[in-house]
């Protein structure tokens, strides 16, 4: 049945750029043989990798190093984009957020082999995560998963199986593939990227970013996912933001910086008796941790990953519920969105740098709209 689901998904969900925006060549250096991407600026702090997945494909990944970083972002990009198009954004995010960042191309995207399917993307993100752990020595508790649009699917699939993640960022996320096209109220077996069912299995803080004028994935998707989060962070609803231009709004990088700063200062409790405790920006956290026991029926595929999913103690629920009203009141006072008519000079010139990059993460599930959205993004 899973194979049928992936086959259906591949017919209407995946639009890899054709031709790819980059190539990968082998070059010799003082350190030996290394891979290099063409058609992008060459940087000394970027590793180019080819990773084998458990489904037999080989994907291309980049690892952007920041010597000041204590956290590492694993970024799953949106549809109709590849690493060549995302390269500059990855480098800028690594610099301004002070993180190491790994981005990867899904099977069938860029110079990755094979054909894209839902389950291949799950194997792709697992391969990238394993590379971080085994090659770069990154600890699970220092990883932030970032999923954009369709990338929210593999991001939440992996996040639902890792109990010690530091945080998750969902950028223009989808509730599920079918819900992008139809306002269905239940999950069908042939649906793909069932994020609506997986978000409740994620214990770490979750930041949701969505544009209020998104005409590809309605903002209601992001809002419903945020409501279902067990451990919320103040969301960012970008007024006037569409599906593929949120990076151009100055509040985007400002909000990310606040979130990453709070996450970096956080102290992960060794026991699972309560939500993550922050040393700063306490008012931005929601302690709306619902009394749900974590359970997953499909852990077998990730048996080698960390599955240390401890049940949360219920002793702190009453205390959190008592403070919930005050916290919600505080959030309403701080959850204002910068108006787009304000000066668009982004912090640290971030917006201007992003404008020069091709950042189209185009139409998730609407083939007829792909060309239209691509043109609007490139204006």
Catalytic residues: 149, 214, 243
Helix (H) or strand (E) holding 370: helix 370-378
Give the residue carrying structure tokens 């082999």. 113
Interatomic CA distance for residues 71 and 145, integer angstroms: 11
Q: What letters, b where the CB count within 10 A reaches 16 and e where it falls short, cover 185-199?
A: eeeeeebbbbbbebb
Which three-class secondary structure state does DSSP give residue 284?
Answer: helix
In a 13 Å sphere around the CA of 51, the CA atoms on its Cβ side amount to 29
Pairing of strands 232-233, 236-238: unpaired
Interatomic CA distance for residues 221 and 177, integer angstroms: 11
> How many CB atoms neighbour CB 101 within 10 A?
26
Read off the tokens for 200: 């409740």
Interatomic CA distance for residues 317 and 332, integer angstroms: 22
Interatomic CA distance for residues 175 and 220, integer angstroms: 9
Read off the tokens for 306: 């960390």
Is the Cβ–Cβ distance between 158 and 123 less than 8 Å? no
Is the bond preceding 19 in cis, omega lying within 30 degrees of 0? yes
Interatomic CA distance for residues 229 and 286, integer angstroms: 9
Nearest one of 151, 168, 161 to 73, comparing CA atoms: 168
Interatomic CA distance for residues 248 and 246, integer angstroms: 5
Interatomic CA distance for residues 222 and 165, integer angstroms: 21
Note the residue count of the chain. 379
Is the Cβ–Cβ distance between 98 and 66 less than 8 Å? yes
Nearest one of 327, 320, 226 to 275, comparing CA atoms: 320
């Amino acid at each position: 049945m899973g194979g049928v689901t992936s086959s259906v998904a591949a017919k209407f969900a995946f639009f890899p750029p054709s031709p790819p925006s980059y190539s990968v060549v082998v070059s010799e250096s003082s350190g030996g043989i290394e891979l290099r991407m063409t058609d992008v600026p060459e940087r000394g702090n970027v590793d180019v990798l080819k990773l084998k997945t458990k489904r037999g494909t080989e994907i291309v990944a980049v690892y952007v190093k920041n010597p000041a970083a204590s956290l590492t972002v694993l970024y799953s990009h949106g549809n109709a984009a590849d690493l060549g198009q995302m390269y500059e954004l990855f480098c800028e995010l690594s610099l301004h957020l002070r993180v190491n960042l790994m981005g990867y191309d899904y099977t069938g995207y860029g110079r990755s082999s094979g054909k894209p399917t839902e389950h291949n993307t799950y194997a792709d993100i697992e391969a990238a995560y394993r590379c971080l752990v085994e090659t770069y020595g990154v600890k699970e508790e220092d990883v932030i998963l970032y999923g954009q649009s369709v990338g929210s699917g593999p991001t939440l699939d992996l996040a639902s199986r890792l109990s010690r993640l530091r945080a998750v960022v969902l950028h223009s996320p989808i509730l599920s593939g079918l819900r992008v096209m139809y306002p269905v109220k239940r999950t069908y077996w042939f649906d793909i990227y069932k994020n609506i069912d997986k978000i409740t299995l994620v214990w770490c803080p979750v930041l949701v970013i969505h544009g209020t004028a998104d005409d590809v994935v309605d903002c209601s998707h992001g809002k419903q996912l945020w409501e279902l989060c067990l451990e919320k962070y103040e969301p960012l609803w970008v007024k006037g933001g569409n599906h593929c231009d949120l990076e151009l709004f100055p509040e985007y990088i400002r909000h990310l910086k606040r979130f990453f700063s709070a996450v970096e200062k956080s102290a992960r409790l060794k026991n699972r008796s309560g939500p993550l405790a922050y040393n700063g920006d306490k008012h931005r956290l929601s302690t709306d941790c619902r009394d749900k026991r974590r359970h997953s029926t499909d852990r077998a595929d990730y048996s080698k990953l960390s599955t240390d999913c401890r049940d949360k103690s219920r002793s702190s629920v009453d205390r959190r519920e008592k403070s919930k009203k005050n916290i919600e009141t505080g959030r309403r006072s701080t959850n204002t969105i910068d108006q787009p008519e304000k000066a668009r000079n982004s912090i640290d010139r971030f917006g201007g740098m992003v404008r020069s990059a091709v950042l189209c993460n185009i139409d998730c599930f609407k083939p007829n709209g792909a060309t239209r959205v691509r043109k609007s993004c490139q204006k």
